[in-house]
Homo-oligomer: A and B are copies of this chain.
Amino acid sequence: MYSDKMYELGSKSSVIREIFEFGLKRKAEIGDENVYDFSIGNPNVPAPDCVKEAIVSLLENETSTYVHGYTSAQGDMKVREAIAASLNERFDTQFKATNLYMTVGAAASISLCIKATVTAETDEFITFAPFFTEYKVWTEAAGAKLKVVPANLETFQIDFEKFEAILSPQTKGVIVNSPNNPSGVVYSEATILKLCEILKQKSEAYGHPIYLIADEPYREIVYGDLEVPFLTKYYDNTFVCYSYSKTLSLPGERIGYVLVPDAMADSKKIYAAICGAGRALGYVCAPSLFQKVVMKCIGQTSDISIYKKNRDLIYEGLTALGYDCVMPQGAFYLFVKALEEDANKFCERARDYDLLIVPSDDFGVKGYVRISYCVSTAQIEKSLPAFAKLAESYR
């Protein structure tokens, strides 16, 4: 007398969880510092000082009712105004508070966009491998289907031929995640231009808009002078789903937003449907204190230079050892070709060297592993000999 589907979702031991459990056991045996845990995408860089300062200032200077009370369902007006102003300054856009809906993080943001736009069981959303496996869960929970475009293993940009083969009149939306988890790749402007061109053509051909859902928790975590295109400027029917989890190192605080631009077809009605989806899914009013914290921390990030240092160290270290790595331009993941066909077996062997890494199968690609380098630089330095031994074991 329970939902088999929910039971299956809740009980299926994910590979990452299994690695996590193994890690706990192994750390207890040989000490935390001797297990090279690269399995978790949890920022290890502390939140910037502004977070603590904002919290203390709010507690000292504002009433409890303001700090901890309900905001409106869509979020505090001044918070949304401040976020809109910051986006406008950075991207030369014209957003207002009324374009933003505050959420309990990117998972909620994406779930709301899907729930608000699904109209039939035949609706399909498309994403590009490698992709975050929960997209499938959220799409199916809203009664639609997720179709996956196989990865372009050369560049990890979009394979447009395969994309066009999957597009159909049933396509309701397309989910992109750039900078990407797990590849670390950022979609180039050329990729975005071509993607949006196809979406425009197909929307017209099918006689209905195809929504672009931009999952952007890593937007600010990019290296070098790279510009991450802001998608509403390229395509009107774009939802931007943001979370402060990664850039402010607040993954547990569940704070983010959905942006619904005025340029979107039926923008006001879509925004109302997002509000309705919030009610239906059981979350209205994102955490109050952290709404105000992100307002006070606008324009700030954690110390991203640490991730840059880590990226260079692990990318150069593994490449020197002969590993075939995708050069990460953003996020804090390195996507590495496994040294045997079966990435699961490769990850199992890595455990013999106390290296905890995640096989790519769950991300919709076979034969790769994800290494999360949001860890201490010392761990990376110490782990390189273990990676060397792992490579040797295949020679």
Contact = CB atoms under 8 A, between A and B. Distances in A.
Interface of A: 1-11, 42-44, 46-47, 51-52, 55-56, 59, 63-65, 67-71, 104, 107-108, 110-112, 115-119, 134, 137-138, 140-141, 172, 208-209, 211, 249-254, 265-266, 269-291
Contact of A273 (B6, B59, B266, B286): B6
B116 A2 contact: yes
A8 B64 CA distance: 33
B283 A252 contact: no
Q: 3 shortest A-B CB distances, which residue pairs?
A: A252-B288, A10-B276, A9-B276
A210 to B, nearest CB: 9
Most chain B beta-carbon neighbours within 10 Å: one of A47, A63, A64: A64
Given A2-B266, A10-B275, A42-B70, A283 B104 contact: yes
A116 B10 CA distance: 10
**This chain: copies in complex:** 2
Given A6-B276, A11-B275, A104-B287, 19 more contacts: A1-B266, A2-B119, A2-B266, A6-B115, A6-B280, A11-B276, A42-B69, A43-B65, A46-B65, A52-B59, A56-B59, A67-B252, A108-B283, A138-B280, A140-B280, A141-B282, A253-B289, A281-B281, A282-B283
Contacts of A137: 279-280
Most chain B beta-carbon neighbours within 10 Å: one of A9, A208, A271, A287: A287
Nearest to A268: B11
Given A108-B282, A117-B1, A7 B253 contact: no
B56 A279 contact: no
Contact of A3 (B9, B115, B283): B115
A279 B134 contact: yes
Contact of A68 (B4, B134, B252, B265): B252
A3 B252 contact: no
A52 B265 CA distance: 45
B254 A6 contact: no
A270 B2 contact: yes
A55 B52 CA distance: 10
Contacts of A266: 1-2
B280 A9 contact: yes
Most chain B beta-carbon neighbours within 10 Å: one of A9, A118, A265, A266: A9
A290 B46 CA distance: 18
A100 to B, nearest CB: 15
A3 B44 contact: no
A252 B71 contact: yes
B253 A68 contact: yes
Contacts of A5: 276, 280
Nearest to A11: B272
22 contacts: A1-B208, A1-B209, A2-B116, A2-B117, A3-B119, A3-B276, A8-B276, A9-B276, A10-B116, A10-B279, A42-B70, A47-B64, A47-B68, A68-B250, A69-B252, A70-B252, A108-B283, A111-B281, A111-B282, A251-B285, A251-B288, A252-B287
